[in-house]
Chains A and B, each alone.
Chain A
Amino acid sequence: MSAAAGQLSDLGRARAQPARAGAQQSRWSHLLYVAPFLFLYVTLLVYPLFAGFWLSLHKADFFGGSRFVGFENFVRLSNDKVFIGAVGNTFYFILLTVPALAIIGLGLALALNRTTPTAAFLRGVFFSSSVLSVTIVTLLWKVVFAPDGGFLANLFEAFGKQPVAFLSNADLALPAIAITTIWWCIGLPMMLFLAALQQVPRELYEAAALDNAGRWKTLWSVTLPSIRRTFALVIIIEVVLQFQLFGQAYLMTQGGPNNASRPLVLFIFEVGFTRWDVGYAVAAGQILFGLIAIAAMAQYFVARRKEAF
């Protein structure tokens, strides 16, 4: 009885908030706190999104020419081999990078989840590449992959092998970009896993030790189950991030050779900013938006389900 009343009054209090007390003040005026952000949000994000929906139904260029064409852009996309290839490349790239990032990140986190200075230093090393910009990263790796005097080429020659032109080989270009990306991005998954490992209650390990569980047994039946949710979260975050592959491909291979390393975002960029086929590019952007929205929704649900995972 009194518990029910308590719930009701708590509910009421949560709704009333303290703001209620000074309710003498006009409530519209409170919008002023939110208005500056809302203005930018609406003009620079919401409006472009919806204008994009509209624009994707047009044949449009940057110089103002525009003609309503209905879903023609989407039909064209579905028949565009380069676009289909770009979507395929994007998924292939995700397949190359995301599992590797998750597994290497987890491995590093497990190895470096200790308080020694060496571990702290190594954590710093593995995260350091993450703060570099994409242009520096690609510059570094271009001189690693370069067939003529590149680091790997020199290494191959030292072992008496022919140097390989990674970035101009259709089969190796995307994997080379993937390696570059893994090198660049490994810090984040490692840190997320480290944070999760710190959350595993110490008692669980003590209980496992009392149960005579060995190192691998403890890892398998205590540690890994405790961070399942983080694992799912890392996968989704990385999928969303790697979906947006652009700079590495643009700067290392320009999508070549023969479109073998052209991802979706680079396709949008080229159609929009070099071929000026704006409506078509925006239509491709809608497809990207849909794909990322699905991943973002998955992230939302994983983040919500606190225990189930």
Chain B
Amino acid sequence: MPGIELKNVTKTFGSVTVIDNVSLSIRPREFMVFLGPSGCGKSTLLRMIAGLESVDAGEIWIGDRRVDQLAPGERRVAMVFQHYALYPHMTVRENMSFGLRNVKLPEAEIDKRVDAAAKMLEIAHLLERKPGQISGGQRQRVAIGRAIVKEPQLFLFDEPLSNLDAALRVRTRLEIAQLHQRVEAAMIFVTHDQVEAMTLAHRIVVMNNRKIEQIGTPMEIYSRPATTFVASFVGTPAMNFSPVELSDGPNGFVSARLPDGAIVATRIDKASLPESRSFKLGIRAESLDICPVGQGQTAGVAQFVERLGDRTLVYVRLSDGTTVVAEDAGNSRVAINDKVGVKFDGGGAHLFDDQERGHHAVLEGNST
């Protein structure tokens, strides 16, 4: 069971660097998601692993084979493309067996693999049809089937769900998760959709601006974002940010003073903070509760109220003019223009230094 290793991988197009010295290791059978906004380089990185883009510097290893100079077909990887990239003039069966024919696998073995994959993906009845005669969701399955039959060491998915409608996307997401349970291979899945990333990944690689921002499990990414970018890109609604002044709080933790004067006692160890000219406080809506005026650390006026059913998001304008998103119960009675109190849960507060690096609450296990 091979793992995948990227060592100082760099790619430039002319004078433009699109992948800047990226190193990454993916464990055998791991489900890895590359997450980031469009243009961040995540697709390019995937295509470099596939062999569709050359590697200008650095190395790519799959198991004990260095593959960055090999042709795409020789890397024992399979890829599912965004627009499926099925061969329109071939039947589904021909689509799935084309790659196997090219490596001269015996016919019997090809048929066996194709039939098994078709059965697993429930497309056996479509085998003699052409891609133009089947639905979008079915085409997606064929594309996946074409990858499965190759029995690759690594599956690559390039935003494969972005062309499906919402319901089908959820279903296919589940199926890809199940597929991963069944096959003995690592998977890399590129997406800009954080829900896909959170639900599918063992670990997420968050990329921005040609670089890796953070590698971590979905919960690490969510609750301990390494940078302001990760903090703001992951999570809905986006994290609240506010410049703060720090002071000593209880137990060696720091307290943060917001521009409107409110003081938030964090659970961030003072000793762990670096020198920094300034700090920003970051806190998610779920750590900001609506309360009667006077009970929380601060108060403001409700600007918008978004009812999501299980909870209610309240956009509160504070006295200094900034707006924060706070959460209230699903049956909240807050209405626009109500005055409301806001209660900060200091345990959910993050601090970001002038290098944009995140600092988080001390984990429960090793708190003093």
Decide if B51 is an interface residue (CB 8 Å cutoff).
yes
Main secondary structure of the interface of A (DSSP, over half): helix
Taking a contact as CB atoms under 8 Å apart, the answer to whether A12 and B13 are in contact is yes
A16 neighbours in B (Cβ, 8 Å): 13, 53-54
Bound form: Cα–Cα A271–B18 in Å: 63
Decide if A24 is an interface residue (CB 8 Å cutoff).
yes
Please provide the chain B residues from 310 to 326 with a CB less than 8 Å away from any CB of chain A in the complex: none
A-B contacts counted at CB < 8 A amount to 58
Instruction: Kindly state the interface size class of chain A when it binds its partner.
Output: 20 to 34
Taking a contact as CB atoms under 8 Å apart, the answer to whether A11 and B13 are in contact is yes
Given A11-B13, A12-B16, CB of A20 within 8 Å of CB of B39: no
Taking a contact as CB atoms under 8 Å apart, the answer to whether B210 and A21 are in contact is no
Residues of B within 8 A of A (CB): 13-14, 16, 18, 37-41, 44, 47, 51-54, 69, 71-72, 208-210
Residues of A within 8 A of B (CB): 1-13, 15-16, 18, 20-24
Taking a contact as CB atoms under 8 Å apart, the answer to whether A2 and B13 are in contact is no
Bound form: Cα–Cα A24–B38 in Å: 29
Other-chain contact of A8, B18, B53, B69 (Cβ < 8 Å): B18
Taking a contact as CB atoms under 8 Å apart, the answer to whether A23 and B39 are in contact is no
B40 neighbours in A (Cβ, 8 Å): 2, 5
The residue of chain A having its C-beta at the shortest distance from the C-beta of B48 within the complex is: A21
The residue of chain A having its C-beta at the shortest distance from the C-beta of B229 within the complex is: A2
The residue of chain A having its C-beta at the shortest distance from the C-beta of B18 within the complex is: A9
A9 neighbours in B (Cβ, 8 Å): 13, 16, 18, 39, 41, 44
Q: Give 29 CB contacts A-B under 8 Å.
A: A2-B38, A2-B39, A2-B209, A5-B40, A5-B41, A6-B37, A7-B39, A8-B39, A9-B13, A9-B18, A9-B39, A9-B44, A10-B39, A11-B16, A12-B13, A12-B14, A12-B16, A12-B18, A13-B53, A16-B13, A16-B53, A20-B53, A21-B47, A21-B51, A21-B52, A21-B53, A21-B54, A21-B71, A22-B71
A10 neighbours in B (Cβ, 8 Å): 39
Most buried by A among B39, B41, B51, B71: B39
A22 neighbours in B (Cβ, 8 Å): 71-72
A23 neighbours in B (Cβ, 8 Å): 54
B52 neighbours in A (Cβ, 8 Å): 18, 21
